[in-house]
Structure 1
Amino acid sequence: MEIKEDQELIKIDQVDEKIISLLNEDGRMSYRKISRELDISVGTVHNRVEKLMKTGVIKKFAPIIDHSRLGYKLTAIIGVRVKGGLLKNWENRTAYHKNVLAVYDVTGEYDAFLIAKFKDTNGLDEFVKGLLKEPDVQRTYTQTVLNVVKEDLGSPKML
C-alpha cells in the first residue's frame, strides 16, 4: 500500500499495515503485545513504529474523547463564507476555538466547514452569532446532527 505525504508516496508493507491496524484499535497497545499478535520481535515493532512516525504516516497518538460524556451532546456542521484572500487567517484563529473539532477547506458555495460540539443550543447560538460578528465572515450555514450513524475520529479502516 502507498500513502501520500506532501507529494511523496510512502510505501508500507503488510507488517506495517497490521501494526497500524492494531494501534488504531488500541493506541496504548504495548510493542510486546503487538509483537506477540504478529509473531515478530519487539525490536521490529519498535523500528517499524519509529519509521512510520518519522515518515509522517503516524502523526501522533491521541485519545478519542466521547464528548457526550462531558456534556457536549450537540454536534453542528457549520459552513462559512469568508471574504476573499482572508480564509487562512480566519481558519488559523477559528481552528483553536474550544468547541471546534475540525476545519475543512471545501469547494462550492462555502469556503470552509466546521465540525463543532456544544452542550446545548445556547452555546451553538452564541458561537454562530460570534462568527457572524467577525469582519472576515460573510455568511454561515448551520446544520445540527440529529443522529450519529458513524463517528470514528481515529484512522479510517482503509488499510
Structure 2
Amino acid sequence: MVICMDDDLVKIDDIDRKIIDLLNEDGRMSYRNISRILDVSVGTVHNRVEKLVKKGVIKKFVPIIDHSKLGYKLTAIIGVKVKGGVLRNWETRTAYHKNVLAVYDVTGEFDAILIGKFRDTGELDSFIKGLLSEGDVQRTYTQTVLNIVKEDMTSTKMIGD
C-alpha cells in the first residue's frame, strides 16, 4: 500500500492501516488496547504510530467536533473570486476566521472555495458582506447545505487501493 503525502510516497502495510483505522475510531485509544485488538506488541504499536507521525501520514490527533451541538447548524459552501496576485495572502487571512473550516484552491470560475459553519442566515449574511467589503474580493457565490449526507475528514477507505 502507498499513501502520497506532500509528494513523498509512504509505504504502509495492513498493520499500519488497522492502527490508523482504530485511532480514527477513538483517538484516545491506548497503545495497549490497540496491541490487544491487533495481536501485536505494545512496542510495535508505539513504533508504528511514531513512524506514521514522523512520515506525516498522521498529522495530529484532534477531536472531531459536532458543530451543531455548539449552535452552528448552517453549513455553507462559498466560491470566491479574488483579484490576481493576492490569492495566497487573502486565503491565509481568511483561513483564520472563526466560521471557516476549510479553504481550497480550485480550478474553474472561482479561485477558492470556503466551507463554513454558521449559527444562522444572519451570521452567514454578515460573513458574506464582510468578504465582499474586502478590496481583494471581486465576487462570491454561496450555497447552503440542506442535508449532510457524508462529512468524514478522517476516512481511510482509499488506503489500500
- Superposition TM-score, scaled by structure 2 size: 0.96
Task: Measure how far apart 1:7 and its partner are.
Answer: 1.6
Alignment of 1:1-159 (within 5 A): 1-159=1-159
Aligned structure 1 segments of 4 or more residues deviating by more than 6 angstroms: none
- Using the alignment, how far apart are the partners of 2:69 and 2:157 within structure 1? 25
- Using the alignment, how far apart are the partners of 1:76 and 1:62 within structure 2? 23
Task: Measure how far apart 1:156 and its partner are.
Answer: 3.9
The alignment partner of 1:88 has SS state of helix
Task: Measure how far apart 1:8 and its partner are.
Answer: 1.3
Q: Which runs of 5+ in 1 are unaligned?
A: none
The alignment partner of 2:135 has SS state of coil
Task: Measure how far apart 1:38 and its partner are.
Answer: 0.3
Identity of aligned residues (%): 77
The alignment partner of 1:143 has SS state of strand
**Equivalent position amino acid for 2:144 in 1:** T
The alignment partner of 1:19 has SS state of helix
Answer whether contact 2:21 2:156 (CA < 8 A) is retained: no
- Using the alignment, how far apart are the partners of 1:147 and 1:5 within structure 2? 31
Answer whether contact 1:64 1:153 (CA < 8 A) is retained: no
The alignment partner of 2:34 has SS state of helix
**Equivalent position amino acid for 2:67 in 1:** H
The alignment partner of 1:110 has SS state of coil
> Alignment length, in residue pairs?
159
- Using the alignment, how far apart are the partners of 1:84 and 1:20 within structure 2? 40
- Using the alignment, how far apart are the partners of 1:38 and 1:4 within structure 2? 25
